[in-house]
Amino acid sequence: MSTILVTGGAGFIGANFVRHLIEHTDHSIVNFDLLTYAANPESLEDLDSKRHQLIEGDICDAERVSELLAEHQPSAIVHFAAESHVDRSIDGPGAFIRTNVNGTQALLDQALAYWSGLEGSEKENFRFVHISTDEVYGSLALDEAPFDEQHQYAPNSPYAASKAAADHLARAWHKTYGLPVIITNCSNNYGPYQFPEKLIPLMLINALNGKPLPVYGDGQQRRDWLFVTDHCKAIERVLEAGQPGRVYNIGGDAETTNLEVVHALCDLLDERVPSSTPRRELIEYVTDRPGHDRRY
Ligand code: NAD
């Protein structure tokens, strides 16, 4: 039994990961989260406070992070904290550079200072798992094979560029200073506790309320979809058996277009919560997002 420091654990994937660890391991979790608009502490309300502690704070605050590490002596850090919504990054990239780039650097610095002071097996077994995205690789042509870990970085949105920058920092802190960093790049997650600005919860809520379903461009953007619990299992496995310095891509092998996803949601809702008109009629095609990747 040991303590894991999770950053951004009141957000969508982080909250699912905290719940996964509580259910499937005997680790205790210190959850450090700035509680931005994207956080939902209610996702974790029912958890035993002996196993899970939610602490409000900013990963950019080096002093606070340093105190936290000294106090809780974690055996690993799993770093989810980020600004994560592409549309918001187009409207205001500054917050993305601050948290995703500067915040990751601050966290890596403090992790390095803490890890340098460890000894023996505690030092050897310590891990820093940096959670990233397939969006760092840019867009795939229709006939190209899926991304692998050697794929060239070509981020297209400010969000993807900030995550790519953070990945490079994480890699460099391993290569230069020896910090046992592992990077994971995953595809689009879906599942419980997601903030309703993202495709699936937004469409579900609008469709249930008879509101328009805005689909970008022609809706033919292709994404691989990964159920969040499957992602959490993969991260747990990386934590147990991943090699420091390695990158692991995590996908669901479930590629589909955005329009197919919206159609499926409409049809499922029509079946389960019948309405007078088919929900596909609520679909409205809106101007495509600038720089929108065609396929991941
Ligand atoms: P999210 O936006 O739902 O949650 C992010 C969390 O980070 C929030 O709780 C927020 O309060 C916290 N946070 C933001 N700034 C912070 C700061 N400065 N200090 C401390 N906490 C801060 O994000 P998510 O969808 O759960 O994504 C988690 C991670 O996974 C992110 O790094 C994201 O880039 C990556 N990712 C997500 C997806 C996806 O489909 N959701 C896909 C690939 C990669």
State pLDDT tens for residues 257-292: 999 999 999 999 999 999 999 999 999 999 999 999
Q: Which amino acid is at 66?
A: S
- CB atoms closer than 10 angstroms to residue 215: 22
The pLDDT value recorded for residue 190 is 97
Q: Contact, 263 vs 280, CB < 8 A?
A: yes
pLDDT digit string (tens) for 156-201? Answer: 999 999 999 999 999 999 999 999 999 999 999 999 999 999 999 9
Concatenate the DSSP letters of all residues of 264-279 into one string.
Answer: HHHHHHHHHS--SS-G
Q: Contact, 13 vs 39, CB < 8 A?
A: no
The pLDDT value recorded for residue 1 is 72
Annotation says 135 is catalytic: yes
Measured CA to CA in angstroms, residue 168 lies from 110, 163, 173, 241 at distances of 17, 9, 9, 22
pLDDT digit string (tens) for 160-171? Answer: 999 999 999 999
DSSP letter at 200 equals H
The pLDDT value recorded for residue 258 is 97
The pLDDT value recorded for residue 102 is 98
Out of 5, 6, 7, 12, give the residue to mutate to test ligand 1, the one with the largest number of ligand atoms within 8 Å of its CB: 12
**Would the CB of 191 count as within 6 Å of ligand 1?**
no
Question: For atom 33 of ligand 1, which residue has the closest CA?
Answer: 84
Ligand 1 atom closest to residue 9's alpha carbon, by position in its atom list: 9
Measured CA to CA in angstroms, residue 50 lies from 3, 26, 29, 70 at distances of 11, 11, 9, 19
Q: What is the percentage of the chain residues whose pLDDT exceeds 90?
A: 99
H or E element, residue 123: helix 120-125
Annotation says 159 is catalytic: yes
Annotation says 134 is catalytic: yes
Q: Contact, 159 vs 83, CB < 8 A?
A: yes
**Would the CB of 195 count as within 6 Å of ligand 1?**
yes
Q: What's the pTM?
A: 0.97
**What are the residue ranges in the chain where pLDDT is below 50?**
none
